[in-house]
C-alpha cells in the first residue's frame, strides 16, 4: 500500500500517520527525511523484506517531488509504483498546501494507493477541550495556555502531554500548573510585539520587549524575527495587490495560512515603502550591534518607539 499525505495541517498529518501505523512494532517502521536522505535508499528499504514481521512501514517526509518542483527522483518512484512490494506500506508526506496532480507519479498513487489532503484549520479551543476532556480546566486557563504556546496544534499537544505527566492522577489543571510546566515560545511574543507596534500602542510594545529581555531573549534574535515578520507582511501585501488569495500566498511563501492572514491584516496599516524601510532599518541595526556601534538593548527599544 502507498499513501500520499499532504497539506499544512501538520497535526492532522501526524495523527493520520499514527492511525496507519497503529499497533505496529517500532522495529518495523523506518523514517526518512527526503531533504537529506536519498530516495534510492527509501525504495531499497521498501523492496527488502522485514526481519521482524511479515509487514513493514516506510515513512518518507518532505516528498517534494510530488509538488511543482522539478525532481530527478520521480523515475525511481515511478518504477517502484509499477511493482509495489505488497508487504510494505509506504507513506509519502508533503508539507505543502498543494501537490501537482498532473505528474505521472501522482497519478500512479491515485491508481495504486491513497492520497489524503490535510489543509483544514483546527479550532484550537476545541482541540484543547478534546485533549483534556477527562480533566477540569476553566476558560481562563485554556486562554492562558494558548497565549503561552500559540496556535500550532503539534506544540499544543506536546505541551498538554507535559501537563498530563506532571499532574499524574490529579485531574484539576490550574493557572499555576500552566505557568510552571508550559514553555512560552518567542514566536508568540513576537506576534504580540508586532500587534502592539501596528496598533501604535508603544507602551504595551515596550512592556512586551522588556518582558522578553527578562527571560533572557537575545535582542539580535528578536531583531531577526521582527524583520522576518515585516518581510512576510511586505510580501503578502504585494501578492495580495497582484490578486493572489490568502491560500495562494501561503503556498507561494511556504508558510501557514494563519500567519498570512495576520500579515495581511497588519500590512494594511503600512505602505509597502514603510515596510521596506522597517526591514532595512532592522538589517542596519543588526550590523551596528554586531560592530559595536550601538547598544543592543536600547537600539531595538528606539526602533519600537519610532515605528
- What pLDDT digit, counting tens, does each position of 185-196 carry? 767 778 888 888
What band does 61 get if pLDDT is binned at 50, 70 and 90?
Answer: very high
Same-domain check for residues 204 and 152: no
In this prediction, residue 230 has a pLDDT band, given cuts at 50, 70 and 90, of very high
Per-residue pLDDT, averaged over 133-149, amounts to 90
Taking 80 as the threshold, does the pLDDT of residue 102 lie above it?
A: yes
For position 52, what pLDDT does the model report? Answer: 66
The pLDDT-based confidence of 141 (bands split at 50, 70, 90) is very high
Domain match, 169 and 234 both:
no
Question: For the ranges 89-93, 108-112, 228-232, 259-263, which has the lowest average pLDDT?
Answer: 259-263
Residue 33's domain is classified under what CATH number? 3.40.50.300
Residues 240 and 248: their CA atoms lie apart, in Å, by: 9
Mean pLDDT confidence for 146-169: 87
Q: What is residue 149's predicted lDDT score, i.e. its pLDDT?
A: 84
Number of domains in the chain: 3
* 234 and 261 co-located in one domain: yes
The CATH number for 195's domain is 1.20.272.10
Of 63-72, 87-96, 113-122, 147-156, where does the model show the most confidence? 87-96
What is the mean pLDDT of the segment spanning 141-146?
90
Give the 3-state secondary structure of residue 32.
Answer: strand
Q: Which range has the top average pLDDT, 32-41, 207-216, 251-260?
A: 32-41
Q: Where do the DSSP E strands lie in 34-75?
A: 56-61
Range of the domain at 135: 124-181
Mean pLDDT, to the nearest integer, of 228-252? 89
- Residue 185 · residue 266 · CB < 8 Å: no
Q: How confident is the model at residue 122 (pLDDT cuts 50, 70, 90)?
A: confident
Strand partners, 3: 91, 114
Whether 68 and 158 map to the same domain: the answer is no
216-246 burial code (b ≥16 CB/10 A, e <16): ebebeebbebbbebbbbbbbbbebbeeebeb
Query: What pTM did the predictor assign?
Result: 0.55
Residue 154 corresponds to which cell in the numbers above?
A: 503539534
pLDDT digits (tens, 9 = 90+) for 279-302: 999 999 999 999 989 888 888 888
Residue 25 has pLDDT above 70, yes or no: yes
Answer with the one of 181, 201, 224 that is the final residue of a domain.
181
Residues 6+ apart with CB under 8 A from 96: 6, 7, 8, 64, 67, 251, 254
Whether residues 105 and 129 fall in one domain? no
| 220 and 233 within one domain | yes
What pLDDT, in 10s, does the model give residues 183-228? 777 677 788 888 888 888 888 899 888 888 877 788 888 999 899 9
Amino acid at each position: 500500500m502507498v499513501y500520499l499525505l499532504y497539506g499544512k495541517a501538520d497535526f492532522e498529518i501526524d495523527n493520520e500517520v499514527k492511525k496507519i501505523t497503529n499497533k505496529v512494532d517500532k522495529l518495523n517502521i523506518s523514517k526518512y527525511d527526503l531533504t537529506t536522505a536519498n530516495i534510492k535508499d527509501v525504495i531499497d528499504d521498501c523492496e527488502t523484506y522485514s526481519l521482524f514481521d511479515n509487514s513493514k512501514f516506510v515513512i518518507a517526509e518532505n516528498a517534494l517531488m510530488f509538488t511543482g518542483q522539478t525532481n530527478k527522483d520521480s523515475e525511481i518512484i515511478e518504477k517502484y509504483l509499477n511493482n509495489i512490494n505488497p508487504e510494505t506500506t509506504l507513506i509519502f508526506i508533503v508539507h505543502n498546501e498543494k501537490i501537482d496532480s498532473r505528474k505521472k507519479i501522482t497519478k500512479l498513487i491515485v491508481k495504486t494507493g491513497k492520497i489524503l489532503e490535510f489543509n483544514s484549520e483546527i479550532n484550537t479551543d476545541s482541540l484543547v477541550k478534546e485533549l483534556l476532556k477527562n480533566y477540569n480546566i476553566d476558560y481562563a486557563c485554556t486562554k492562558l495556555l494558548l497565549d503561552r504556546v500559540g496556535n500550532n496544534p503539534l506544540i499544543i499537544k506536546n505541551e498538554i502531554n507535559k501537563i498530563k505527566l506532571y499532574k499524574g492522577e490529579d485531574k484539576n489543571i490550574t493557572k499555576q500548573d500552566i505557568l510552571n510546566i508550559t514553555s512560552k515560545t518567542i514566536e508568540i511574543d513576537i506576534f504580540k510585539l508586532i500587534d502592539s507596534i501596528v496598533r501604535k500602542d508603544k507602551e504595551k510594545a515596550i512592556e512586551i520587549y522588556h518582558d522578553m529581555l527578562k527571560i533572557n531573549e537575545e535582542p539580535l534574535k528578536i531583531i531577526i524575527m521582527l524583520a522576518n515578520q515585516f518581510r512576510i507582511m511586505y510580501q503578502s501585501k504585494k501578492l495580495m495587490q497582484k490578486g493572489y488569495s490568502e491560500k495562494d500566498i501561503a503556498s507561494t511563501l511556504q508558510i501557514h495560512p494563519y500567519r498570512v492572514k495576520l500579515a495581511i491584516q497588519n500590512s494594511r496599516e503600512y505602505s509597502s515603502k514603510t515596510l521596506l524601510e522597517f526591514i532595512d532599518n532592522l538589517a542596519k541595526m543588526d550590523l551596528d550591534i554586531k560592530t559595536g556601534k550601538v547598544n543592543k538593548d536600547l537600539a531595538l527599544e528606539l526602533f519600537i518607539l519610532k515605528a
